[in-house]
Amino acid sequence: MVLENHTKRRLAAGETVVGCFFRYPAGTLAEFVALGGWDFLVFDAEHGSLHPRDLEDLSRACELHAVTPIVRVTTNEPSAILRFLDAGAHGLHVPWVDTGAAADAAVRAAKYQPRGSRGLAATRSARFGVPEPIGDYVRRSNAETLVVVQVETAEGVANIEDFVTVDGVDVVFIGPTDLAHSLGHVGNPSHPDVQRAMERVTDVVTGSDKALGIFVANPTEAARWRARGARYLTTGLEPLLRGSMRDYLSSVRNAGGETT
Ligand code: 3PY
Ligand code: MG
């Protein structure tokens, strides 16, 4: 159900947006998180158990609170992408995009004609065809649907110049965990090889009309990437909760005189 996509508008205006990955099939929990004040939530169907059906409730939870619902799909396949978008996501993350052609395929799967070849029906995304003619919905959806392509392999980094020329890509997003893994430094995104690869992506994307996005684990990393020009900043529910649980337990236990 794409009405006005505030996240896309703010990015187009040169602003910075802040979002959170969420991978649980629980609409009420999504509503609670949406109330936190995020610009957008990314419902993660790549990692985790989300199905297209879950996106109906998860998107609804966001729509109640003017938060943009975005989905990360498993694969760059039009049939997989279609079902998640039809359920109500207003934007799309495609993981493992390695070439300009793959970035173009992601845009074509997300957009209707003339830019793309998304299949058309009066689904939830089209508000079931009730309030407006389907042609109006198609034009609005093409204008409002956000497309994010993820660079997270050595091949993607090598081809980064091709990504930023693709019409319809809004955000080029660095996946630090998979990129470090791909470069042979699993669990160590701080390794100089990984940092060099991220610098290359950063230089090319910030010099283009696309926004740079990244996943960060904490506010310090977010501030560093923001200073480096990233405007689409994401974290995850798990890093937030891990930190809160650790801090809570350690202060409660320390107050009780325990040492661990
Ligand atoms: C990665 O770090 O690989 C990601 O995909 C972040 O979401
Ligand atoms: Mg990844």
| Model pLDDT for residues 54-109, shown as the tens digit of each residue | 999 999 999 999 999 999 999 999 999 999 999 999 999 999 999 999 999 999 99
Q: Give tens-digit pLDDT for 25-34.
A: 999 999 999 9
For residue 1, being part of any structural domain is answered with no
**Ligand that comes closest to the CA of residue 174:** 1
* Averaged pLDDT, 151-155: 98
CATH of the domain at 182: 3.20.20.60
Environment of ion ligand 2 (residues, CB < 5 A): 152, 175, 178
Under DSSP, the state recorded for 125 is G
Cα 122 to ligand 2 centre (Å): 32
| Per-residue pLDDT reduced to its tens digit, 184-207 | 999 999 999 999 999 999 999 999
Ligand 1 centre from 222 Cα, in Å?
Answer: 14
Residue minimizing CA distance to atom 6 of ligand 1: 175
Per-residue pLDDT band for 256 (boundaries 50, 70, 90) equals confident
How many C-beta atoms lie closer than 10 Å to residue 41's C-beta? 27
45-58 burial code (b ≥16 CB/10 A, e <16): bbeeebebebbbbb
**pTM for this entry:** 0.96
Cis status of the peptide bond prior to 114, with omega within 30 of 0: yes
For residue 43, is it within any domain? Answer: yes
Helix (H, G, I), strand (E, B) or coil at 193: helix
Residue 48 pLDDT class (50, 70, 90 cuts): confident
CA 93 to chain CA centroid, nearest Å: 5
Is residue 89 situated within a structural domain?
Answer: yes
Which residue's alpha carbon is nearest to atom 1 within ligand 1? 175
Q: Does residue 260 fall inside a structural domain?
A: no
Residue 133 lies in a domain: yes
Predicted confidence at residue 3, as pLDDT, reads 76
Ligand 1 atom closest to residue 72's alpha carbon, by position in its atom list:
7
Q: How much is the average pLDDT of 224-230?
A: 98
Catalytic residue list contains 65:
no
Task: Record the tokens describing residue 77, joined without a space.
Answer: 């396949």
Ligand 1 pocket (Cβ < 6 Å) reads 95, 150, 152, 175-178, 215
Q: Say if residues 107 and 140 touch (Cβ distance below 8 Å).
A: no
In the reported structure, the alpha carbon of residue 177 is separated from the centroid of ligand 1 by a whole-number distance in angstroms of 5
Percent of the chain topping pLDDT 70: 98
Q: How confident is the model at residue 260 (pLDDT cuts 50, 70, 90)?
A: low
Summarize the confidence of residues 164-172 as an average pLDDT.
98
Answer left, alpha or beta for residue 14, where phi above 0 means left and psi between -120 and 50 means alpha: left
**Which ligand 1 atom sits closest to the C-alpha of 178?**
3
How many Å lie between the centroid of ligand 2 and the Cα of residue 177?
Answer: 6
Which residue from 42, 150, 221 has its CB within 8 A of the most atoms of ligand 1, so it is best to mutate? 150
Total domains present in the chain? 1
Domain range for 100? 6-255
Of the candidates 147, 144, 136, 138, which has an alpha carbon nearest to the alpha carbon of residue 120? Answer: 138
CA atoms of 156 and 208, how far apart (whole Å): 16
